[in-house]
């Protein structure tokens, strides 16, 4: 018998037993099945949803803009997601540390709620992490489609995921898998091709962004492989690239068969590859707003294609169900949520949205089952990407932002995206590849020394911007200077007159012209002209000396009037920060390999005109591209 003071009930063994019971009860009380990563995702979802109030469920369906996402708002309204709108940054030229601190500040607000559900932060990383200073800016999709290289796209996805995570963000609204059928559309550069088969192939960027699917994988389930990967977003569902005359957010008039054969196939591939989210298009199909289209969002995407991730609206997409937008908000909320939208990109009037939706559920206008479907899908994505286990961001990947390796990958993508449309006025006297060693050359044109122009829209700001200070990269002029022989004099004159050109006796000239940056509706164009003074740059230079014209544009532009004057013509699209890739090929360190992924029209009156159309009379047909052999010498390393 162990000596024990006369404590009766409170003998040491009894105290021990009581302590054990307390610990057991405490352990039981603090064990929350949904927080246990050993539990199957379905079990965690069910357990968590059983604990959630209507307010907490509706909060998960709300995505607000970072500028209004204070920790208090996150906590008070149980907000499930936050985004950076185009160009919305915590500071000018913000470092990864500033980004990570901002994301974590908002996350702490979400985690301070009763159930501690982490928020998911999304951003448009559509050609690299394009909002962020010093990020690698890859060619826009219009150029990547030319490469016809799915493995390259996968590497770009991998690099982009690392750079997005470098700033603490786990979700990107990419890829855009629009099939642009009319280059007058302001977003045509976000489309890989007019040919859905190329767009389908380019969905290989999704496993780059999200990670390779595991061996036993159930089709349709979202998949994101941990902290070096991010959730992707196939957008904009469906038919965004098929609107009448390319008018943005307008009406896609096409049969169901046409919709399914042209605009839908890349969604099959995206779902097969485990895409975590799908964003609905602002556009309409045969007069029905996609944001209100139950048949296509629920009936087809969710029920027929078995998509099990979450469907997100576009920015104020619910509001734009009516014309004018927000004209009847309750109708819009009912139509959008009933159609099958799970998360709503509000982004500012979240209290109005929450109140309206709560009302409609309480008044049984919107069934609780619809709310539960939405929340289940949102939680599924958050669970599969380990957001509950790793809600806080860190700086472990900070050095990935704009890394040399990623910039070299972007440079390779630039090389493969170039299309040689003309090479010399007579076939036996090609101008390209250019000689590196000569006396004096001229570099001219509005886009030769303009990093912002060569990056295009969705770069640092929503619309993009001119100049060389917006981020870090290599202009085409700098790339040319890097590449020519040191003895070659490079003269840069943005807007030379003919006398200047003639009097200088240049060996040849490189004229870089094109379009200014733009995004969305601001890019809609009914004339597709090269911006002034580009045409006069071409005429004053090419009329006086052998010239190669490099076109920087988000789509084919009207070039036929100048073609007779031009000796060589290169389509460079929107190459991004790594302009060195242009010089690599102009000077023969690499050969031209690119083939048009879009039809190049003669005049805009011909549009829309796509490969396979009966009346097909292009200036340069889909699939066209001249080739050159690289110089024998080893490529110069920079």
**Residues lying near ligand GLC in the complex (CB under 6 A):** 85-86, 124, 173, 235, 314-315
Sorted by sequence, the CB contacts under 8 Å of residue 374 that are 6+ apart come out as: 60, 61, 310, 337, 341, 342, 343
The least distance separating ligand GLC from the CB of residue 570, rounded to whole angstroms, comes to 29
CA 419 to chain centroid: 23
584 is catalytic: no
Please report the sign of the dihedral spanned by the C-alpha atoms of residue 265, residue 266, residue 267, residue 270: positive
The number of beta carbons lying within 10 Å of the beta carbon of residue 93 is 14
Longest dimension (CA), the chain: 115
- Residue 112, classed as helix, strand or coil, is coil
Closest by CA to 570, choosing from 235, 284, 579, is 579
- Residue 378, classed as helix, strand or coil, is helix
Please report the sign of the dihedral spanned by the C-alpha atoms of residue 161, residue 140, residue 199, residue 339: positive
**Residue number, 314 or 356, with CB nearest to ligand GLC:** 314
* Residue whose pair of structure tokens reads 């090419």 in the numeric block: 542
Distance, in Å, from the CA atom of 37 to the CA atom of 49, rounded to the nearest integer, reads 16
Specify burial of residue 521 (Cβ count, 10 A radius: 0-12, 13-18, 19+): middle
Contact 146, 594 (CB under 8 A): yes
Please, how many CA atoms are within 13 Å of residue 284, restricted to the half-sphere of its CB?
A: 13
Strands 288-289 and 284-285: antiparallel
**Residue number, 285 or 315, with CB nearest to ligand GLC:** 315
Contact 403, 451 (CB under 8 A): no
Q: Do you know the residue count of the chain?
A: 638
Contact 172, 506 (CB under 8 A): no
Peptide bond into 381 cis (omega under 30): no
Closest by CA to 95, choosing from 128, 135, 65, is 135
Distance, in Å, from the CA atom of 230 to the CA atom of 162, rounded to the nearest integer, reads 8
Distance, in Å, from the CA atom of 579 to the CA atom of 443, rounded to the nearest integer, reads 14
520 is catalytic: yes
Cα 387 to Cα 44, 123, 412, 550, 585: the distances in Å are: 13, 16, 33, 45, 43
Please report the sign of the dihedral spanned by the C-alpha atoms of residue 464, residue 469, residue 475, residue 477: positive
Q: Which of 149, 194, 314, 567 is catalytic?
A: 314
**Residue number, 133 or 173, with CB nearest to ligand GLC:** 173
Tokens for 323, please give them: 């014309």
* Residue whose pair of structure tokens reads 């601190």 in the numeric block: 101
Tokens for 119, please give them: 């928020």
| The three-state (H, E, C) secondary structure of 125-191, written as one string | CCCCCCCCCCCCCCCCHHHHHHHCCHHHHHHHHHHHHHHHHHCCCCEECCCECCECCCCCCCCHHHC
Q: What is the DSSP letter of 470?
A: S
Distance, in Å, from the CA atom of 437 to the CA atom of 439, rounded to the nearest integer, reads 7
Distance, in Å, from the CA atom of 316 to the CA atom of 560, rounded to the nearest integer, reads 40
Tokens for 489, please give them: 């004099």
Closest by CA to 34, choosing from 371, 392, 391, 379, is 379
Annotated active-site positions, please? 314, 520
């Amino acid at each position: 018998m162990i000596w024990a003071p006369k404590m009766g009930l409170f003998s040491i063994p009894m105290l021990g037993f009581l302590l054990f019971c307390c610990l057991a009860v405490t352990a039981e009380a603090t064990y929350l099945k949904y927080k246990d990563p050993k539990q199957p995702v379905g079990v965690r979802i069910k357990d968590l949803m059983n604990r959630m109030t209507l307010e907490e469920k509706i909060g998960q369906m709300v995505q607000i803009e970072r500028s209004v996402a204070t920790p208090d708002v996150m906590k008070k309204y149980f907000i499930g997601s936050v985004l950076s709108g185009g160009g919305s940054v915590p500071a000018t030229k913000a470092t990864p540390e500033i980004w990570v601190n901002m994301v974590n500040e908002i996350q702490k607000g979400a985690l301070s709620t009763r159930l501690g559900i982490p928020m998911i932060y999304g951003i448009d990383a559509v050609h690299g992490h394009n909002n962020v200073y010093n990020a690698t800016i890859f060619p826009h999709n219009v150029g990547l489609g030319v490469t016809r290289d799915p493995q390259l796209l996968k590497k770009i996805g991998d690099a982009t995921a690392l750079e997005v995570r470098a700033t603490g963000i786990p979700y990107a609204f990419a890829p855009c898998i629009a099939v642009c059928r009319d280059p007058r559309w302001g977003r045509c550069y976000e489309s890989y091709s007019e040919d859905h088969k190329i767009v389908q192939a380019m969905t290989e960027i999704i496993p780059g962004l999200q990670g390779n699917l595991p061996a036993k994988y159930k089709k349709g389930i979202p998949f994101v492989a941990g902290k070096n990967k991010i959730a992707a977003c196939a957008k904009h569902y469906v038919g965004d690239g098929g609107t009448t005359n390319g008018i943005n957010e307008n009406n896609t008039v096409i049969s169901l068969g046409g919709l399914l054969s042209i605009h839908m196939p890349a969604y099959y591939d995206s779902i097969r590859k485990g895409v975590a989210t799908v964003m609905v298009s602002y556009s309409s199909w045969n007069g029905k707003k996609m944001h209100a289209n139950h048949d296509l969002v629920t009936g087809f995407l969710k029920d027929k294609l078995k998509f099990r991730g979450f469907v997100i609206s576009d920015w104020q997409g619910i509001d734009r169900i009516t014309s004018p937008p927000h004209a009847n908000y309750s109708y819009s909320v009912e139509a959008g949520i009933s159609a099958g939208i799970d998360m709503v990109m509000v982004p500012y009037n979240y209290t109005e949205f929450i109140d309206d939706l709560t009302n409609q559920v309480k008044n049984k206008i919107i069934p609780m089952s619809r709310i539960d479907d939405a929340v289940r899908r949102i939680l599924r994505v958050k669970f599969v990407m380990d957001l509950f286990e790793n809600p806080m961001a860190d700086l472990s990947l900070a050095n990935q932002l704009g890394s040399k390796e990623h910039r070299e990958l972007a440079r390779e993508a630039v090389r493969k995206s170039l299309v040689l449309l003309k090479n010399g006025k007579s076939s036996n006297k090609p101008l390209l590849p250019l000689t590196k060693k000569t006396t004096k050359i001229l570099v001219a044109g509005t886009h030769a020394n303009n990093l912002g122009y060569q990056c295009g829209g969705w770069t640092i700001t929503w619309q993009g911007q001119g100049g060389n200070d917006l981020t870090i990269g290599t202009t085409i002029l700098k790339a040319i200077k890097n590449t020519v022989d040191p003895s070659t004099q490079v003269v840069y004159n943005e807007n030379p007159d003919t006398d200047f050109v003639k009097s200088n006796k240049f060996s040849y000239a490189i004229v870089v012209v094109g379009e200014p940056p733009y995004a969305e509706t601001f890019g809609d164009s009914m004339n597709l002209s090269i911006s002034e003074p580009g045409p006069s740059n071409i005429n004053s230079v090419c009329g006086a000396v052998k010239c190669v014209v490099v076109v920087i544009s988000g789509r084919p532009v009207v070039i036929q009037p100048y073609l007779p004057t031009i000796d060589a013509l290169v389509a460079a699209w929107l190459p991004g920060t790594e302009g060195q890739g242009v010089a690599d090929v102009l000077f023969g360190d690499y050969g031209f390999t690119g083939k048009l992924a879009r039809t190049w029209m003669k005049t805009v009156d011909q549009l829309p005109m796509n490969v396979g159309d009966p009346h097909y009379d292009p200036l340069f047909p889909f699939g066209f591209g001249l080739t050159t052999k690289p110089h024998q010498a080893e490529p110069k390393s920079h």
